[in-house]
């Protein structure tokens, strides 16, 4: 396995601020450097698309309805994600309730292991100031170069598989 090192500022660190991108196009630009490294080193890159939804039972109010509570919840999710990946992997928040997890030098088998680990870590209850919130989680996976030749294509495939 070939190691691809992102710059120190891009490494996933549970205590560092979460990087946020607002669109698939911005995500594509963000990962273009990793694609270039993968091409030079004949390596793979896996992307996991993580969609989170607050589980609301009929007749109950959404505990995470206000933006401050939702941000607190998504920060807790990002902490769990970042605690379960390698230092060379990146966790990016994309839009409101989605995360892209970039796994350099990871193929199908490695990304399958990480996917199961992330699902186990993120599913379940979150204790917030307003009470306990339950989440549902969906994950889609795509691989470079099999599923796309740029970041937007890779994200679109992973995102569609998470739906």
Give the start-end residues of each E strand in 43-163: 45-55, 90-94, 98-104, 124-128, 131-144
pLDDT at 6: 42
Average pLDDT over residues 144-161: 87
Q: Percentage of residues in the chain with pLDDT exceeding 70?
A: 80
Task: Provide the β-strand partners of residue 51.
Answer: 98, 138
Lowest-pLDDT range of 17-21, 118-122, 127-131, 141-145: 17-21
Q: Where in the chain are the domains?
A: 18-162
Q: What is the pLDDT of residues 53-87, one digit of tens each?
A: 887 543 455 545 556 777 888 888 999 999 999 98
Predicted confidence band at 35 (pLDDT cuts at 50, 70, 90)? confident
Q: What is the mean pLDDT of residues 25-32?
A: 79
Find, among 121, 124, 152, 156, the residue nearest to 141 by Cα.
156
Which residue shows structure tokens 């995470």? 64
Q: Around 34, how many Cα atoms within 13 Å sit in the side-chain half-sphere?
A: 32
The CATH class for the domain spanning 18-162 reads alpha beta
The sheet with strand 45-55 has its strands ordered as 19-21, 90-94, 98-104, 45-55, 131-144, 124-128
My answer on whether omega of the bond before 145 falls inside 30° of 0, hence cis, is yes
Tell me the per-residue pLDDT of 117-131, one tens digit each, with 9 for 90 and over.
999 999 888 887 777
* Predicted model pTM: 0.80
The helix/strand/coil state of 16 is coil
């Amino acid at each position: 396995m070939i190691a691809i090192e992102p710059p120190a500022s891009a490494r996933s660190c549970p205590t560092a601020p979460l990087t946020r991108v607002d669109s698939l196009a911005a995500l594509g630009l963000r990962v273009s450097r990793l694609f270039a490294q993968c091409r030079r080193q004949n390596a793979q890159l896996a992307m996991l698309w993580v969609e989170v939804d607050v589980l609301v039972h009929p007749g109950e109010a959404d505990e995470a309805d206000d933006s401050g509570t939702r941000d607190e919840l998504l920060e807790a999710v990002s902490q769990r994600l970042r605690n379960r990946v390698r230092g060379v992997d990146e966790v990016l928040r994309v839009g409101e309730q989605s995360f892209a997890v970039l796994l350099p030098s990871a193929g199908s088998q490695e990304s399958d292991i990480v996917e199961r680990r992330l699902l186990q870590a993120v599913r379940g209850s979150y204790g917030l100031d307003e009470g306990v919130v339950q989440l549902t989680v969906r994950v889609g996976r795509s691989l470079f170069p099999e599923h796309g030749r740029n970041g937007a294509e890779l994200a679109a495939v992973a995102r569609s598989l998470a739906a």
